[in-house]
Amino acid sequence: MQTIGIIIKHNNTKALEVGIKLESWLRKRGIRTVFSKELAHAIPGSQAMEKLEIPQVADVIVVLGGDGTLLSVARLVDSHDVPILGVNLGSLGFLTAISLDELYTMMADILKNRFKVSKRMMLAARVYRQQEIITTYSVLNDLVINKGALARIIELETTIDQGYLTTFKADGLIISTPTGSTGYSLSAGGPIVYPTLDSIIVSPICPHMLTNRPLLIPPEARIETVLASEGGDVSLTLDGQIGFALQQYDRISVTRADHYIELITSPTKTYFEVLRTKLKWGERYA
C-alpha cells in the first residue's frame, strides 16, 4: 500500500478537519496521499489533483462525507480497480458504514492489506435520440425517469431483452441495483435486495394501474424504455445527483456495467445491523 487518495465532502468543515489529520497521520507512516483541491488548499506545500485522476494513481480511496459523496466517487472510479473506504461523519449510512471512531483502526489494517471488500454491481445507461447515443452514464444506486411537478402522467414503453413488458403510465420509473434497493426504489414499494447480489430492480413511481408492481430481473437483461408521452417536463436523474432533460421518443437503455465497485466493509458492523439501525427495525413507538 503506497498511495492513498482522500476525497472530502464539498464545503464540509468537519470533513476538511478530518482530512487534514488523516493526511498527517499517513505522511508520518511514509504513505503518499493524493487529494482534490478542497483538501489541498488547506495543506501547505501540497498539490491538488483533479478528482478524475485520483483513481488512476491511488491504491485505496478514502471518502469523508456521506452516502452522496461516496456515490459521486463511485462514478469517478468507474472501471479502475480501486477499493473505496466510506467514512460517515454524521448518521450511519448504507454505503459509508465506517464511523469516525473506527477510521484509524481501519487505516492501520488497510496499510497492512488486512481488509475485506464488498463487490457491488453498477448499471450502464445510454440515452438514444433519433437512433444516436447522445449521452452515457454509470450509476451505483439508481437511475430515475420522472416528471416535473406540473407535468401530467407520463407513458414509458418498456421492453426487456427486446420483449415488450408494458407501457407504464406513472409519475416515473426507477431502475436500481441491489445497492440502490434501500433508496428511492424502497420508497416506491420496491424490495430490499442484499447488496452483493446481481440483479436489477424495476419500480414504477405512483403507477396509474395498481397492478403495476416492482419487478426483479436477472443482471444480464437489457431494459429499454421509450418516453412515449408528448410534452411535459421529464428528466433522467442518475444516483440522485446528475439530471438530464428528456424529449419525446428518447430511448433509455440500461444494462449491467462491465465493472464492479469495491467497498471496504466495516469489521464491526454487518449489513443487517446497518439495515436495522437505518430503518429502525424493532423500535417501539409511543
Task: Return the pLDDT at 286.
Answer: 56
Q: pLDDT tens across 114-145, in order?
A: 999 999 999 999 999 998 999 999 999 999 99
Annotated active-site residue in 67, 171, 239, 250: 67
% of the chain at pLDDT higher than 90: 65
Q: Which CATH code fits 122-258?
A: 2.60.200.30
Pick the closest to residue 146 from 202, 208, 204, 75 (CA basis).
Answer: 204
Cell of 131: 437512433
Q: What is the average pLDDT across 13-41?
A: 89
Q: pLDDT tens across 240-258, in order?
A: 999 999 999 999 999 999 9
CATH tag for 3-116+265-279 (out of 3.30.450.190, 3.20.20.10, 3.40.50.10330, 3.30.70.3040):
3.40.50.10330
Give 280's pLDDT tier (boundaries 50, 70, 90).
confident
pTM, 2 dp = 0.90
Three-state SS for 183-214 is: CHHHHCCCCCCCCCCCCEEEEEECCCCCCCCC
Q: How many CB atoms lie within 10 A of CB 176?
A: 30
Cell of 34: 493524493
For the chain, residues classed under CATH 2.60.200.30 are 122-258
Phi/psi at 186 (5° precision): -65, -40
User: Higher confidence at residue 274 or residue 121?
Assistant: 121
Cβ 7 vs Cβ 51: under 8 Å: yes
Cβ 215 vs Cβ 173: under 8 Å: no
Give 78's pLDDT tier (boundaries 50, 70, 90).
confident
Active site residue 171: no
Please tell me the distance from the alpha carbon of residue 203 to that of residue 218, in angstroms, as a whole number: 15
For the chain, residues classed under CATH 3.40.50.10330 are 3-116+265-279
Please tell me the distance from the alpha carbon of residue 119 to that of residue 131, in angstroms, as a whole number: 34
Cβ 171 vs Cβ 184: under 8 Å: no
Which residue(s) pair with 190 in the sheet? none
Please tell me the distance from the alpha carbon of residue 62 to that of residue 86, in angstroms, as a whole number: 6
Cβ 74 vs Cβ 140: under 8 Å: yes
Task: Return the pLDDT at 144.
Answer: 96
